[in-house]
Chains A and B, each alone.
Chain A
Amino acid sequence: MLTLRNISKTFNPGTVNEKKALSDVSLHLDKGDFLTILGSNGAGKSTLFGAIAGSFVPDKGSVHLDGANITNLPDYKRSKYIGRLFQDPLKGTAPNMTIEENLALAYMRASETHSPFSRVNAADRREFREKLAMLELGLEDRMDHPVGLLSGGQRQALTLLMATLVTPKLLLLDEHTAALDPATAEKVLNLTKRIVSENHITCLMITHSIPSALQLGNRTIMMKDGTILVELAGEERANMTTEGLLRLFHQQGLDNDRILFSAE
C-alpha cells in the first residue's frame, strides 16, 4: 500500500539553520493499517507527513503508493488519493464559502468525469445532506451558511468529512484534535474512528496522547531526531499500557513534558 524507502530530508542545508528532519526512514503500511505516531516536538513526525503528502521532495529515498512511485508527484496531484487534516482547524476549509460549496470542492477530487463548468445539483445536495447528518452536529440544516461561522470543532469535523467524502487511499491526521476542547476532541476522535473503519481507510495519525495512540489503530511508532525508534504491533502493542510506554520513553531518552502531561 504505502512504502517509504530510506527517506532523508535536511532543511536549510549549509546554513546555521540546518535541520536534519528525517534520516533514512523506512516504513511500510498494508491496506487497512492504522498507524499512530508518537514523538516529541521536532522528532520529524510532521516532516514524515510532508514527505508522504508531497509538500517537498526528499533529499534521498522514495515514496510508493499502491505500487506507483510518487516521489516526484506535486502535492496537489497526490491529494487526489491522500486526505490530510492539520492541527489548525482553520486550514482545511474555506471560511467565506458555504458548507455546501466546501463539500462540492472536496467532491471534485474524484469526479474527473464532471465538466469543470458543472454545478452542484440536487443529487449532490442530497448526498451532502446525508453525509453531514452522520456528523450529528446539525450541519445538514446549515448548508448555505459560510464555514467561517462554525466553531473549530465543527470545522474540523467538516474537514474530516471533506477528506473522506471521496474515500482516499490514505488519510494523514496531524494532531487533528489537539486544538479542540476535550469534549469536542473526543467527539472528533470517535468520528475519525468510525469513518476510518467503515471505509477501511489506511490511516496515519500523529498524536501527543499516549492513550489514544494505543487505543486507536493497529500499529504505533515512536520517533526521535528524524528516525523511528520503537515500533509496536500485534500482541506486544495489545499488552502495552500507558505506563509501560512511558517507561519506554524514558529508556529511549524521550522525556517530554507534553507527553507526560497527555498521559494523565
Chain B
Amino acid sequence: MISTAVILSALELGFIYALVAFALFLSYRVLNIADMTTDSTFTLGCAVSATVAVAGHSLLAFPAAMLAGACAGFITAFLHTKLNIPSILAGIITNTGLYTVNLAIMGFSSNVNMLRTQTLFTMVQPYLGSFYKLIPAAAICLAAGCLLALFLKTRLGLSIRATGDNPDMVRASSINTGFTITVGLCVSNALTALSGAVLAQYQKTADINLGTGMVIIGLASLIIGETLIPRGRIWRKILGAVLGSILYRFIIAIALRMDLPSECLKLISAVIVALAIGLPAIQNSLKPATKGDRKHADPA
C-alpha cells in the first residue's frame, strides 16, 4: 500500500518541516510564547530562497532566508517587549504585515517558479542518486538540531530557557528578559524561515500560501514527538521533534492514500493539536477527582 517513493518523500518532508518543530519548541515550549509569526515567516523563507535562487545563488538563499526570518522574529519581539503588545497579538500583527512583504519579495506575484533554476538538490543530484533529496534535507535538519541543542546549553541559551521557566527569577539574576525573548524569537524565526527556504528549493516553487497553518502543523509535530519521547534532556526533546515531524508526514501520507481529499488535512491537524494540548484537561475532568487531587493537577 505504501511504496518506497511515499516513504522517501515522507522522510524528506519530515526532516524539512522538523525545522519548524524546532522553532516552535524554542518559542512555544522554551519561551512559553505562541508565536503567530510562524506562518508568514515560513512563506518569507520560501520567497527569499526562491528569489535568491532564481537570481543564481541557490546556496546563499539559505543564510539570506534565515536572516530575513530573524528580522521577522525581531519585529515581533520588539512589538512585544518594547511596545508591550501581548505576544500573540504581536505575532499576528507581524504575520499580517509580512504578507505584503512576501508578495513584494516575489515581485508582487503570488508564486515563483524554479523549474529551470539550480537548487541545492539539483546540485547534489549527480552524487547522491535517488537519495539526492533525503540526504541534504536530513543533514540540514540534524545540523540545525545539534546546533540548537548546543545553543540551549550555553549561558545565553540557559537564560532564554529560564525566561520561559521563571521570569521572576531571571530578573533577579540580572538578565534582561526583553533581550532573551528577542534572541529566542530571532533564532526560532530563523529556523522557520530555513525550513521554508529548503522546502521552496525542494519543490522548485514558492507560493504565497505555503505557510498557511504552519504554526499548527509545527505544533502537531512537536506534540506527537513529545508523546513518543515524553521526557528527558534537551537533545531528547529535539530528537522527539524530528520523529514527531516525520510521523506527522506519514500520517498525512496514509490519509492521502486513503483518498482523503487534501483539503481535509488542515482540519485534521487542527483536531490533533486541540486534542493533544487539551488532553491533560480532558483527563482531569474524566477522573473522579477529589479536591486534593484537583489541586495537585493544577498546572501552576
Contact = CB atoms under 8 A, between A and B. Distances in A.
Interface of A: 74-80, 83-84, 86, 90-97, 101-102, 104-106, 108-109, 114-120, 162-163
29 contacts: A76-B170, A80-B174, A83-B172, A90-B166, A92-B169, A93-B166, A93-B169, A94-B170, A95-B165, A97-B158, A97-B161, A101-B158, A101-B161, A102-B162, A104-B155, A105-B155, A105-B169, A108-B159, A109-B173, A114-B155, A116-B154, A116-B156, A117-B151, A118-B154, A119-B154, A119-B155, A120-B153, A162-B173, A163-B172
A65 B191 CA distance: 43
A101 to B, nearest CB: 5
Q: Dominant SS at the B interface?
A: helix
B171 interface: yes
Interface of B: 150-151, 153-156, 158-159, 161-162, 165-166, 168-177
A76 B156 contact: no
A105 B175 contact: yes
Nearest to A78: B174
Which of A86, A106, A108, A114 has most B Cβ within 10 Å?
A: A108
A91 B171 contact: no
Contact of A75 (B155, B159, B162, B171): B171
A163 B168 CA distance: 13
Nearest to B30: A96
Contacts of A83: 172
Contacts of A96: 161, 165
B168 A104 contact: no
B194 to A, nearest CB: 20
Contacts of B159: 105, 108
A108 B170 CA distance: 11
Given A104-B158, A114-B155, A76 B175 contact: yes
A94 B161 contact: yes
A96 B150 CA distance: 17
Contacts of B162: 94, 97, 102, 105
Q: Dominant SS at the A interface?
A: loop
A104 B175 CA distance: 13
Q: Closest 10 CB pairs between A and B?
A: A116-B156, A94-B165, A79-B174, A80-B174, A94-B162, A94-B166, A117-B154, A91-B168, A109-B174, A76-B171
Contacts of B161: 94, 96-97, 101
B154 A76 contact: no
Contact of B166 (A91, A108, A117): A91
Contacts of A79: 171-174
Given A91-B166, A92-B169, A97-B165, A108 B154 contact: no
Contacts of B169: 91-94, 105
Given A97-B158, A114-B155, A119-B155, A105 B173 contact: yes
Contacts of A117: 151, 154-156
A108 B165 contact: no
B300 to A, nearest CB: 9
Contacts of B165: 94-97
Given A91-B169, A92-B169, A76 B177 contact: yes
Nearest to A82: B172
A115 B155 CA distance: 8
Contacts of A105: 155, 158-159, 162, 169-170, 173, 175
Contact of A95 (B155, B166, B174): B166
